[in-house]
């Protein structure tokens, strides 16, 4: 995507110039110098040509040299650098990246692995890359050996290369399950999971309540119901959860297998077998659920679930074949995992801030009760509470939306996006990113930029209250001010669903309960890096039902 003509084009221009020069300058001179020998004219022309060529050559090569300049970065020892990188997660490097940004500026390179890894830390460069030159920045790196097993050779949305398969899978998700018109299809699932959550919180024997596991289970159960249909019982959901957790928690242990996969399979034979077994356990649990769902759908036309949308897909670039059961497992796994830790952690961060700042909680409660009235008692029996803040109520609560957005700005669940790669050589910020280079973006830092956000580290939902009728554009299409969901073509396809879920659960949790801090506890907002960025000291709070009858 370079804007300057390439070297061969310039060579052609140069030859054309020389011909013109020869005809216009050298021939008339030669006519004037009638007595001159032909050999002299020939040498004269040749000299002028050579001088001009060398001037052009030096012009081109200095341009080429500049053009080839990678963003600056520290020196890294080949192989050893790659090995160290594979042993670390991206999150471990956050501190290092901070130092590198101060030294090299908002665009720098880490030389690790066969391709350079480039970090983009400025909002405007991120916008230029992801939105203005989206097509060039939307590929993903080739999957590592262990990921290939888990995502079936890049047959899921997040790991698929930028091409027809990715487009098909992503469009299927956004036009079916995530289509705004489908939102109310899942109201029943949302309500049923909310009831489970309220009961779990009420029946909790220990006081104060540590909420993180309850939030995680809630988000997981909801996505499982959206994926496999809402007939699944608690036992089945727990089975799915067990295999998914086992895989997630052991992923760091498998990183070393990616350093030199062929050797890794021999040296770390048992670890490799462990990975294969975990994948098989997952298939043993998910494939029967997929088959059962397909059968059920034949019998009755119930609510659409994600699995239903997968059965009719044809992979055009692979001989128009249907998805295999293994590929469906990878897609279902992605659906439930992509939204569980991200949403449940965002929920925990938001509730932690509402406990820490009772005034903000009181303002929020005021807004909720002004729309819904006073809350009923929370459900303790198996009767379903139906008096809840519904999806359409949440839409009418601007302060609630502001609280959710402020939570995502201040505590984005991911401090980076998933790695991108560039599809062709591109210029950015005066440097050149070669084809295949890996690119990442410092998501958290962008949302903390003091140029945009006054006093960025404090929690102030009011900053989102002045967005006018349109509201705040979280997609960053016009300008990136924060990017908790990424931006451009690879932006989280479920950003709308995630905002709805956060608004829905925060509204109900605050309507039913007053949340207060443990005596003498100042709610510690320190972070810890896991699959997402979590609270180092999980939130504990006293929950008092607002209506006791
Ligand atoms: C608060 C909740 C969530 C946050 C903060 C979040 C954030 C993100 C981010 C940062 C990315 C990477 C974007 C990039 O690589 O440029 C992403 C990708 C993705 N997310 Fe989410 N996400 C959330 C919820 C969900 C949910 C609920 C689902 C599914 C139901 C989901 C499905 C996906 C998928 C499939 C991708 C890959 C997109 C692609 O590569 O084209 N996410 N998300």
Lowest mean pLDDT among 67-81, 104-118, 316-330: 67-81
* Mean of pLDDT values over 422-449: 96
The minimum-distance atom of ligand 1 relative to the CA of 419 is 15
* Mean of pLDDT values over 82-88: 53
Is any ligand 1 atom within 6 A of the Cβ of residue 372?
Answer: no
Is any ligand 1 atom within 6 A of the Cβ of residue 138?
Answer: no
pLDDT for 322-360, tens place per residue? 999 999 999 999 999 999 999 999 999 999 999 999 999
- From CA 165, how far away is CA 178, in angstroms rounded? 18
pLDDT at 282 over 90: yes
Q: Residue 183's pLDDT is what?
A: 79
From the annotation, which residues make up the binding site? 492
pLDDT cut 70: percent of the chain above it: 83
* Mean of pLDDT values over 174-182: 92
Q: How confident is the model at residue 449 (pLDDT cuts 50, 70, 90)?
A: very high
Instruction: Identify which of 119, 492, 501, 531 to mutate to test ligand 1's pocket (most ligand atoms within 8 A of the CB).
Output: 492
Higher-pLDDT residue of 123 and 267 is: 123
Higher-pLDDT residue of 52 and 183 is: 183
pLDDT at 93 over 80: no
pLDDT at 54 over 50: yes
**Phi, psi of 414, deg, nearest 5:** -110, 130
The minimum-distance atom of ligand 1 relative to the CA of 223 is 30
The minimum-distance atom of ligand 1 relative to the CA of 443 is 10
Higher-pLDDT residue of 369 and 79 is: 369
Residue nearest to atom 18 of ligand 1 (CA): 492
Is any ligand 1 atom within 6 A of the Cβ of residue 484?
Answer: yes
Q: Residue 7's pLDDT is what?
A: 40
- From CA 285, how far away is CA 279, in angstroms rounded? 10
Q: Residue 75's pLDDT is what?
A: 77
Instruction: Identify which of 190, 221, 494 to mutate to test ligand 1's pocket (most ligand atoms within 8 A of the CB).
Output: 494
DSSP state of 24: I
Q: Residue 303's pLDDT is what?
A: 72
Residue nearest to atom 2 of ligand 1 (CA): 343
ipTM: 0.99
Q: Residue 77's pLDDT is what?
A: 59
**346 alpha carbon – ligand 1 mean position (Å):** 13
Q: Residue 30's pLDDT is what?
A: 42
Q: Residue 66's pLDDT is what?
A: 47
Residue nearest to atom 9 of ligand 1 (CA): 485
Residue nearest to atom 19 of ligand 1 (CA): 492
- From CA 510, how far away is CA 132, in angstroms rounded? 40
Q: How confident is the model at residue 29 (pLDDT cuts 50, 70, 90)?
A: very low
**462 alpha carbon – ligand 1 mean position (Å):** 26
Q: Judging by beta carbons within 10 Å of its beta carbon (0-12, 13-18, 19+), is residue 296 exposed, middle or buried?
A: middle
SS (H, E, C) 203-236: HCCCCCEECHHHHHHHHHHHHHHHHHCCCCCHHH
Q: Residue 3's pLDDT is what?
A: 32
- From CA 199, how far away is CA 382, in angstroms rounded? 9
Q: Residue 136's pLDDT is what?
A: 97
**475 alpha carbon – ligand 1 mean position (Å):** 12
Q: How confident is the model at residue 502 (pLDDT cuts 50, 70, 90)?
A: very high
- From CA 276, how far away is CA 291, in angstroms rounded? 22
pLDDT at 83 over 60: no
Residue nearest to atom 6 of ligand 1 (CA): 485
The minimum-distance atom of ligand 1 relative to the CA of 484 is 5
**36 alpha carbon – ligand 1 mean position (Å):** 78
Is any ligand 1 atom within 6 A of the Cβ of residue 157?
Answer: yes
β partners of residue 139: 421
Residue nearest to atom 40 of ligand 1 (CA): 158
Is any ligand 1 atom within 6 A of the Cβ of residue 413?
Answer: yes
**338 alpha carbon – ligand 1 mean position (Å):** 6
> What's the pTM?
0.86
* Mean of pLDDT values over 156-185: 94
Q: How confident is the model at residue 85 (pLDDT cuts 50, 70, 90)?
A: low
- From CA 202, how far away is CA 186, in angstroms rounded? 24
**342 alpha carbon – ligand 1 mean position (Å):** 8
Q: How confident is the model at residue 90 (pLDDT cuts 50, 70, 90)?
A: low
**489 alpha carbon – ligand 1 mean position (Å):** 12
Q: Residue 547's pLDDT is what?
A: 87
Q: Residue 253's pLDDT is what?
A: 87
- From CA 277, how far away is CA 279, in angstroms rounded? 5
pLDDT at 467 over 80: no
pLDDT at 36 over 60: no
- From CA 500, how far away is CA 404, in angstroms rounded? 10
Lowest mean pLDDT among 225-229, 510-514, 516-520: 516-520
* Mean of pLDDT values over 73-78: 74
**48 alpha carbon – ligand 1 mean position (Å):** 61
* Mean of pLDDT values over 23-42: 49
Is any ligand 1 atom within 6 A of the Cβ of residue 407?
Answer: no
**483 alpha carbon – ligand 1 mean position (Å):** 11
From the annotation, which residues make up the binding site for heme? 492
Higher-pLDDT residue of 17 and 406 is: 406
Q: Residue 207's pLDDT is what?
A: 81
Residue nearest to atom 7 of ligand 1 (CA): 485
**Cα 290 versus chain centre, distance:** 26
Q: Residue 55's pLDDT is what?
A: 55
Lowest mean pLDDT among 407-416, 426-435, 526-535: 526-535
Cis amide leading into 208 (omega within 30): yes
pLDDT at 89 over 70: no
The minimum-distance atom of ligand 1 relative to the CA of 489 is 41
- From CA 530, how far away is CA 405, in angstroms rounded? 22
């Amino acid at each position: 995507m370079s804007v300057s003509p390439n070297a061969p084009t310039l060579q052609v221009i140069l030859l054309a110039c020389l011909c013109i020069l020869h005809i216009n300058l050298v021939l008339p001179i030669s006519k004037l110098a009638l007595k001159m020998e032909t050999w002299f004219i020939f040498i004269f022309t040749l000299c002028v040509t050579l001088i001009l060529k060398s001037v052009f050559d030096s012009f081109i090569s200095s341009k080429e040299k500049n053009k080839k300049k990678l963003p600056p970065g520290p020196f890294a020892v080949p192989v050893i650098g790659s090995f160290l990188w594979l042993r670390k997660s991206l999150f471990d490097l956050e501190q290092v990246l901070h130092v590198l940004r101060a030294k090299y500026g908002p665009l720098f390179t880490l030389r690790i692995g066969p391709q350079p890894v480039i970090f983009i830390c400025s909002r405007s460069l991120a916008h230029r890359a992801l939105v203005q030159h989206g097509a060039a920045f939307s590929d993903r790196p080739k999957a590592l050996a262990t990921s290939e097993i888990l995502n079936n050779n890049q047959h899921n949305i997040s790991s698929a290369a930028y091409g027809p398969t990715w487009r098909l899978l992503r469009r299927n998700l956004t036009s079916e399950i995530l289509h705004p018109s489908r939102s109310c299809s899942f109201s029943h699932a949302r309500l049923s999971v909310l009831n489970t959550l309220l009961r779990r919180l009420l029946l909790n024997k220990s006081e104060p309540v540590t909420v993180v596991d309850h939030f995680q289970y809630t988000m997981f159960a909801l996505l499982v119901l959206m994926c496999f249909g809402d007939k699944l019982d608690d036992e089945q959901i727990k089975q799915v959860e067990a295999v998914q957790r086992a895989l997630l928690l052991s992923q760091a242990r498998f990183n070393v297998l990616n350093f030199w996969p062929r050797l890794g399979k021999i040296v770390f034979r048992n670890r490799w077998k462990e990975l294969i077994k975990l994948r098989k356990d997952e298939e043993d649990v998910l494939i029967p659920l997929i088959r059962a769902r397909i059968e059920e759908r034949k019998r009755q036309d119930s609510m659409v679930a994600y699995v239903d949308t997968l059965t009719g897909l044809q992979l055009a670039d692979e001989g128009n074949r249907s998805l295999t059961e293994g590929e469906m497992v990878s897609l279902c796994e992605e659906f439930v995992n992509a939204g569980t830790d991200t949403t449940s952690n965002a929920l925990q961060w938001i509730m932690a801030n509402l406990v820490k700042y009772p005034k903000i909680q009181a303002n929020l409660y005021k807004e909720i009760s002004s729309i819904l009235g006073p809350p009923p008692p929370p459900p303790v029996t198996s009767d379903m509470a139906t008096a809840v803040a519904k999806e359409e109520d949440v839409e009418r609560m601007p302060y609630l939306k502001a609280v959710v957005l402020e939570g995502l700005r201040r505590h984005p669940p991911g401090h980076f996006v998933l790695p991108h790669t560039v599809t062709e050589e591109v210029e950015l910020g005066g440097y050149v990113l070669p084809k295949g280079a890996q690119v990442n973006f410092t998501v958290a830092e962008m949302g903390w930029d003091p140029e945009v956000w006054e006093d960025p580290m404090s929690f102030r939902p009011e900053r989102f209250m002045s967005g006018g009728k349109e509201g705040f554009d979280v997609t960053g299409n016009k300008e990136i001010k924060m990017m908790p969901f990424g931006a451009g073509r690879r932006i989280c396809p479920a950003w709308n669903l995630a905002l709805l879920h956060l608004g829905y659960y925060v509204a109900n949790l605050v309507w039913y309960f007053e949340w207060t801090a443990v005596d003498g506890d100042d709610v510690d907002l320190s972070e810890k890096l896991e699959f997402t960025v979590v609270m180092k000291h999980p939130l504990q709070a006293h929950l008092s039902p607002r209506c006791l009858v």
